[in-house]
Structures are given as structure tokens and as C-alpha cells.
């Protein structure tokens, strides 16, 4: 084992996909694999999601990497295409595109293509990021139906802004606005991200778009994956490389930001922000060494972190494995302690970390 490893539990991944199906039994699954499958490894993760009905990514390069890896399922581009010149690539690779604005629709209408492309018309029901206004729906829908470069079945999509918060009625308003806007049209509907799947059953359309929950992590405010019966897929681990005694009053690490209040032992562990561990993780953020929780102290460095293990060595030894997050230490808790969200921690694992696929 290398000094820092991201162990990826593929059985947990399959398990989470079946949990997702249990949440939304009537819906097809579009597994969201953008940003290197949330830092888990794009092609490896896709290969182990054979039970998904389609994949979704943010960029054409990600979709091409899936094809280069031998994956043949339909792939949806969540932001659509960016240039007319992309359209033949979409066609040649069986990529489906979002249409979210006039520029894209015009490009599709005027392109010279050998065959039509599958489309998803995205309606903005309150996220105000991508999507057409509800008032534009009728005209976009009619033009897509008439467009020879678009397959006849116009699939319909929207995206939630606040579905992670069950106390916020914005999601209900978005669902109502979507259903009201599309009115009589009966093509495939897709609304729910992970938070919609877990928290808002009325948003389960013909398709759902789970990302975070597939990786075993909760999208809901104040909850962790196991609260929904999900299993953490990634375990970020490192090793203890030194054990030090520091005297009361001594400062530790860059800026001597932390001073020992009592004489104590420190374990120095071989992971830092150069591996993607958050530099802003606050004092006391937990790590797990030999089955016990200890808190980090001092500045997170590029390659190392210091951990206060108390007034004796607590049986911690050089070479001991350390879990930074994973099945025993929820990444949601680490994110909270670092003032961020689990999505960011997972995506930020850097290429120097060695990936090990288990199961």
C-alpha cells in the first residue's frame, strides 16, 4: 500500500445503486459521473454500474473518456454542447444533449447532420442557472418537434435548487411549476438529483439523476449516508510516519498556529492538501487511527498533518493506518468541520493519491 490511498469499495457502489432503485422503483437511472465520478475514477465506476440505464456527465471530454473506456450505454451531456462543431461528435458517439437556450437550439436547427440526436429540453423552474423560462416552453418544444436534427421524442428536464432541505417548500413549487409548464406533453420526464430521490418522492419521474448518493454520501442537510441505508464507497487512508512528544506551550507546524496546552504526544500523518485534504479543516477535525478517533491540530501542510494523541502514545505506532474519511468516519462530518460540502472533498482528491479498487 502507498502512503495515501483512496480505497474504492465497488460492492458498496453496487449496493448504493440498488438502494437508489428502492427509493425510486418506477424510474430509470441516469448515473451522474461528472468530475471523474465525484473523484472515484470515471471508467472504473462506470464499469461497475452495469445496472444503470444511462450515464450523465458535464462535458464532452468526460463522455468521450467513457466511450474510450469501452462503455456503450447512452450518455447525457448535462450542459449540452458548446459549439455547432460538437454536434457530429455527439451523433457519432450516441451522446444525448440538453437544450437549455436559444443558441443551442439554433445551432441544432441549422446543423447539417446525417441523423437526429436525442435531446432533453431543460426548463428553469427556479434554480436560475441553466434552462429556458417556462414562458418559452411552448415555442422551444414546437421547434424541437419540427427539427430534423432532433429525435422526435423530446425528453424534459428540470433541476432543484433546495431539495437538500426538507423544510424548504421551494422544491414543491419547482415540481408544480414543471408539471404546469409541460402540461399535456408526455415525453420522458427527469427532475430528481440525489436529494430529490431521497427527500421528494413526488419528483421521481420516468428518470432520476443520482450522483452523490451512489457514492454512499447524503445530500440532505445534517444527515449522513448511513441514515439512508447507503454505504461509503471511498475510504481515504494514510499512515503514521512519526510520533513526537511536545512540551506544554510549544507551537506546532506552520505559523505555530497551535500551541500545546499540556505536554502531549503528536502523531504525524502523511497526507495533506496536496492530496486533497482540506487545508481549512479546523482544529479537532477527527481522524481514525487504530479504531480510535483523534483530532488534528495545527496547520494542514501540503504533505503532512499533526494529530494530538494525548498524554501517552495510546498504542499508536509508526506505520499505523489512518482513516481520513470513509465507512468509519463520514465525509459529511469532515466537510462540515472544514466549512465545505462532501461533494468538494470527494472531487478534490488529487492524482498523486493511489486508487485501489476493492470487490
Which residues are near ligand PLP by CB under 6 A?
32, 34, 78, 159, 193-195, 209-212, 219
Length of the chain: 359
Options 145, 173, 245, 254, the catalytic residue: 254
Closer Cβ to ligand PLP, 193 or 285, answer by number:
193
Give the number of other CB atoms < 10 A from CB of residue 344.
15
> Given the complex with ligand PLP, which of 79 and 109 has the nearer CB atom?
79
Confirm if 62 and 49 have CB atoms less than 8 A apart: no
Residues 141-147: contacts with CB within 8 Å, 24+ apart? 141/185, 143/105, 143/109, 144/99, 144/105, 144/119, 147/105, 147/108, 147/109, 147/116
* Cα 293 from Cα 273, distance rounded (Å): 20
Judge whether 273 counts as a catalytic residue: no
Please count the CA atoms within 13 angstroms of the CA of 134 that sit on its side-chain side.
Answer: 13
CB of 338 to ligand PLP, least distance (A): 19
DSSP 149-164: TEEEEEEEE---SSTT
Q: Could you give the CA distance from residue 9 to residue 16 in angstroms, rounded to a whole number?
A: 11
Question: Catalytic residue among 34, 38, 239, 343, which?
Answer: 34
Which residues, including other chains, have CB under 8 Å from residue 345's CB and lie 6 or more apart? 276, 278, 325, 331, 334, 335, 338
* Cβ–Cβ < 8 Å for 123, 132: yes
292 is catalytic: no
Please state the closest distance from residue 240 (CB atom) to ligand PLP, in A: 33
- Scanning 210-275, the segments in alpha helix (DSSP H) are none
Q: Which residue is nearest to ligand PLP (CB)?
A: 211
Give me the least distance between CB of 257 and ligand PLP, in Å please.
34
Alpha helices, DSSP H, located in 40-93: 42-47, 60-68, 87-92
* CB of residue 245 to ligand PLP, shortest distance in Å: 44
CB of 35 to ligand PLP, least distance (A): 8
Helix (H) or strand (E) holding 105: helix 102-110
From residue 214, alpha-carbon distances to 48, 201, 234 in Å are 11, 17, 11
Distance CA 96, CA 187 (A): 15
Q: Which is nearer to ligand PLP, 78 or 230 (CB)?
A: 78
Q: 3-state class of 315 per DSSP?
A: coil
C-beta of 115 vs 167, nearer to ligand PLP: 167
Q: How far is the CB of 195 from ligand PLP (least distance, A)?
A: 6
Helical residues (DSSP H) of 127-270, grouped into ranges: 137-146, 170-182, 194-199
Smallest gap, in angstroms, from Cβ of residue 202 to ligand PLP? 17
Q: Which is nearer to ligand PLP, 155 or 193 (CB)?
A: 193
Nearer to ligand PLP, 211 or 298 (CB): 211
Q: Catalytic positions, please?
A: 34, 254
Amino acid at each position: 500500500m502507498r502512503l495515501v490511498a483512496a480505497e474504492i469499495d465497488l460492492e458498496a457502489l453496487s449496493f448504493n445503486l440498488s438502494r437508489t432503485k428502492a427509493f425510486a422503483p418506477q424510474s430509470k437511472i441516469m448515473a451522474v459521473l461528472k468530475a471523474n465520478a465525484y473523484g472515484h475514477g470515471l471508467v472504473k465506476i462506470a464499469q461497475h454500474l452495469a445496472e444503470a440505464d444511462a450515464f450523465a456527465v458535464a462535458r464532452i471530454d468526460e463522455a468521450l473518456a467513457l466511450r474510450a473506456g469501452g462503455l456503450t450505454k447512452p450518455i447525457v451531456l448535462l450542459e449540452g454542447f458548446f459549439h455547432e462543431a460538437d454536434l457530429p461528435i455527439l451523433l457519432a458517439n450516441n451522446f444525448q444533449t440538453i437544450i437549455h437556450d436559444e443558441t443551442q437550439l439554433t445551432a441544432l436547427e441549422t446543423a447539417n447532420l446525417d441523423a437526429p440526436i436525442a435531446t432533453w429540453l431543460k426548463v428553469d423552474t427556479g434554480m436560475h442557472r441553466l434552462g429556458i423560462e417556462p414562458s418559452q416552453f411552448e415555442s422551444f418544444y414546437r421547434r424541437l418537434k419540427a427539427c430534423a436534427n432532433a429525435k422526435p421524442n423530446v425528453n424534459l428536464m428540470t433541476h432543484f435548487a433546495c431539495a437538500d432541505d426538507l423544510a424548504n417548500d421551494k422544491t414543491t413549487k419547482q415540481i408544480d411549476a414543471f408539471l404546469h409548464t409541460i402540461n399535456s406533453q408526455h415525453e420522458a420526464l427527469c427532475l430528481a438529483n440525489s436529494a430529490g430521490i431521497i427527500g421528494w418522492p413526488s419528483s421521481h419521474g420516468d428518470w432520476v439523476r443520482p450522483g452523490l448518493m451512489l457514492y454512499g454520501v447524503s445530500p440532505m442537510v445534517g444527515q449522513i449516508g448511513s441514515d439512508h441505508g447507503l454505504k461509503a464507497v471511498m475510504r481515504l487512508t494514510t499512515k503514521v510516519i512519526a510520533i513526537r512528544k511536545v512540551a506544554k506551550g510549544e507551537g506546532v507546524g506552520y505559523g505555530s498556529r497551535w500551541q500545546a496546552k499540556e505536554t502531549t504526544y503528536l502523531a504525524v500523518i502523511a497526507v495533506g492538501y496536496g492530496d486533497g485534504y482540506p487545508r481549512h479543516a479546523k482544529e479537532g477535525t477527527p481522524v481514525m487511527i487504530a479504531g480510535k478517533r483523534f483530532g488534528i491540530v495545527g496547520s494542514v501542510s501540503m504533505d503532512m498533518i499533526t494529530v494530538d494523541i494525548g498524554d501517552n502514545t495510546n498504542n499508536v505506532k509508526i506505520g499505523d493506518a489512518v482513516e481520513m474519511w470513509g465507512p468509519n468516519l463520514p465525509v459529511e462530518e469532515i466537510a462540515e468541520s472544514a466549512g465545505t460540502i462532501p461533494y468538494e472533498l470527494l472531487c478534490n482528491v488529487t492524482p498523486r493519491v493511489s486508487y485501489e479498487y476493492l470487490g
